[in-house]
């Protein structure tokens, strides 16, 4: 019995993962991760790091972050409490969807996760207060390899659903894309 539904997005490699809940009067059971089944979605490496975030205020934005090769990472993002608008931007050099973004609503209620492969930037906007996320990463964080895009960059034209409430000083200070940005090499 498959424990996950895998839904393609318009950006190659970026997929939505639908948890299959087995429910009864007591509540539900769902498999959160299965290396064998999620390899079909692209998450073929071992989990190297798990991060948990709490975003207190509706409208807050985190991101858009990525790791430069050779420290690039796959990640599986899931919302455990509340609701978010999760965004991934294709930064893969030579990709036919270079600099295109895709957004998905992830929530505790809809039990959807987003698998974000290497070569994508990632960020989200909280659609409810006290939103909690869990991230599974295929590689550990390396500060020297960190990269970021500005969530307000007009070149990206992200259709954020809400006015921005809170953005960290660090995220707000990321520069807009320069015209000579050619993407991330594989």
Q: Report the catalytic residues.
A: 65, 135
What tokens were used for 122?
């990632």
Listing DSSP states for 135-150 in one string gives EEESS---GGGEEE--
* Alpha-carbon separation of residue 142 from 61, 90, 147, 175 (angstroms): 22, 20, 10, 20
Please count the CA atoms within 13 angstroms of the CA of 31 that sit on its side-chain side: 13
Cis status, amide bond into 70, omega within 30 of 0: yes
């Amino acid at each position: 019995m498959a424990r996950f539904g895998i839904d393609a997005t318009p950006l190659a490699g970026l997929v939505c993962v639908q948890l299959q809940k087995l429910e009864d009067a007591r509540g539900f059971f769902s498999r959160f991760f299965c290396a064998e089944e999620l390899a079909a979605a692209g998450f073929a490496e071992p989990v190297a790091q798990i991060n948990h975030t709490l975003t207190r205020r509706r409208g807050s934005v985190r991101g858009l972050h990525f790791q430069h090769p050779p420290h690039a990472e796959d990640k599986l993002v899931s919302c455990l409490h509340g609701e978010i608008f999760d965004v991934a931007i294709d930064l893969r050099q030579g990709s036919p969807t270079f600099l295109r973004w895709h957004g998905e609503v992830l929530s505790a209620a809809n039990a959807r996760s987003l698998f974000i492969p290497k070569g994508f930037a990632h960020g989200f906007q909280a659609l409810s207060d006290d939103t909690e996320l869990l991230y599974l990463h295929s590689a550990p964080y390396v500060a020297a390899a960190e990269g970021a895009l500005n969530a307000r960059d007009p070149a990206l034209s992200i259709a954020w659903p809400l006015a921005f409430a809170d953005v960290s000083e660090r995220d707000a200070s990321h520069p807009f894309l320069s015209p000579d940005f050619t993407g991330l090499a594989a």
